[in-house]
């Protein structure tokens, strides 16, 4: 018996890093999985490596495409139980240096994209009476990091928005749970690029490296816990997974 038998999961940003690992673990536990991403070549490759997985190209900022993605998921697999709003990106630059377009981009993808995902998914999840939405935040939401002011704002906004949507779902009598996970530094293409491109004394990097980098499975295990019935009493919460980075 898999923990996700009979359930259907949709993972955004599933072509890489954390999203790809979430998809693998959810599928291993019996879920039918749909991954979406802007990167079609990589998305198709990841989907082909996961039995029964469907890839759909999607920029999470595109509201009309959200409706199609949810409709295609339900048409292919019959229902939608789990949404992982994982797609994200980081643009470095202090408040004086970061172009406002890059500020907006990060807010649009990581707050706006998750908002649109919840908006598109909740009406369909509530038809089955229950569901789990997992929004991928970051420890960056919980501290000041001078090199990524927009990223920190987006992830903090995502945590606050998640609480409000969780309360809304409970008020509506839906058994839809909505939570965030805030990872510390995890070994993925995103962090590899940051470590390669940034000067070694850049703000934030030392904090990541000093606390040890985790692996995508460390996050995917919590995604699974929140997605399956083990997490049935958890909603409106942020779960930090950072090897103690934010403890000191
Ligand atoms: N890796 C870490 O250390 C870390 C730590 C904290 C939080 N996170 C968060 O976890 C999530 C996944 O990060 P990752 O490290 O796996 O990064 P990654 O770069 O490996 O993967 C991110 C994926 O999101 C996709 N994406 C970006 N913008 C998109 C858009 N507009 N629409 C659809 N897809 C889009 C990319 O194409 C990519 O496949 C992100 O939200 C990131 O902010 C990562």
Tokens of 211: 């606390």
Residue found by looking up tokens 């909740």 in the block: 122
Q: Which residues lie across from 132 on neighbouring strands? A: 82, 177
Q: Determine the atom of ligand 1 nearest the C-alpha atom of 39.
A: 37
- Averaged pLDDT of the chain: 95
> Is it the case that residue 197 has pLDDT exceeding 90?
no
pLDDT band with cut points at 50, 70 and 90 for residue 87 = very high
Using the atom order of ligand 1, give the atom closest to the CA of residue 90.
43
Residue nearest to atom 16 of ligand 1 (CA): 17
DSSP secondary structure letter of residue 130: E
Closest of 143, 141, 214, 138 to residue 181, by C-alpha: 138
What is the structure's pLDDT at 112?
99
Mutate to test the pocket of ligand 1, among 10, 11, 15, 17 (most ligand atoms within 8 A of CB): 17
What lies within 8 Å, CB to CB, of 90 at 6+ separation is 106, 148, 151, 190, 194
| Superfamily of 8-241 according to CATH | NAD(P)-binding Rossmann-like Domain (3.40.50.720)
Given a cut of 70, is residue 71 above it in pLDDT? yes
| Order of strands, sheet of 54-57, starting from the edge strand that comes earlier in the sequence | 54-57, 32-37, 8-12, 82-85, 130-136, 175-183, 238-241
Lining residues, ligand 1, CB within 6 Å:
12-13, 15-19, 37-39, 58-61, 86-89, 109-110, 136, 138, 183, 185-186, 188-191
Q: Give residue limits of the domains in the chain.
A: 8-241
- Give backbone dihedrals phi and psi of 136, rounded to 5 degrees, phi first: -90, 105
Taking the centre of ligand 1 as the mean of its atom positions, its distance from the CA of residue 177, in whole angstroms, is 22
pLDDT at 208 over 70: no
Query: What is the percent of the chain with per-residue pLDDT over 90, rounded to a whole number?
Result: 89
Average pLDDT over residues 22-38: 98
pLDDT higher than threshold 80 for residue 44? yes
Statement: residue 204 has pLDDT above 80: no
The 10s digit of each residue's pLDDT in 174-186 is 999 999 999 999 9
- Catalogue the active-site residues: 151
Going from the Cα of 137 to the center of ligand 1, the distance in angstroms, rounded, reads 10
Q: How far apart are CA 76 and CA 2, in angstroms?
A: 20
**Which residue CA neighbors atom 17 of ligand 1 most closely?**
190
Confidence tier at 150 by pLDDT (50, 70, 90): very high
Contact status, residue 77 vs residue 93, Cβ threshold 8 Å: no
Q: pTM above the 0.95 mark?
A: yes
């Amino acid at each position: 018996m898999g923990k996700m038998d009979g359930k259907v999961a949709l993972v955004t940003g599933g072509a890489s890093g954390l999203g790809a690992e979430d998809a693998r673990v959810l599928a291993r536990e019996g879920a039918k999985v749909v991954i979406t991403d802007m990167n079609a070549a990589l998305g198709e490759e990841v989907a082909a490596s996961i039995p029964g997985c469907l890839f759909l190209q999607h920029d999470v900022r595109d509201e009309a495409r959200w409706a199609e993605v949810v409709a295609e998921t339900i048409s292919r697999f019959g229902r939608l139980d789990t949404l992982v709003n994982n797609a994200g990106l980081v643009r470095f630059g202090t408040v004086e240096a970061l172009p406002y377009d890059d500020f907006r981009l990060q807010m649009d993808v990581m707050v706006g994209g998750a908002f649109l995902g919840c908006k598109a998914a909740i009406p369909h999840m509530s038809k089955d009476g229950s569901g789990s939405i997992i929004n991928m935040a970051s420890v960056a939401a919980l501290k000041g990091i001078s090199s990524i002011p927009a990223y920190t704002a987006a992830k903090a906004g995502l945590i606050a928005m998640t609480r409000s949507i969780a309360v809304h779902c409970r008020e509506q009598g839906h058994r839809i749970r909505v939570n965030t996970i805030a990872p510390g530094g995890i070994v993925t293409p995103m962090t590899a690029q940051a470590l390669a491109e940034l000067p070694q004394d850049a703000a934030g990097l030392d904090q990541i490296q000093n606390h040890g980098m985790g692996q995508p499975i460390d996050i995917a295990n919590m995604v699974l816990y929140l997605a399956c019935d083990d997490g049935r009493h958890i909603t409106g919460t942020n779960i930090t997974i950072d090897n103690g980075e934010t403890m000191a």
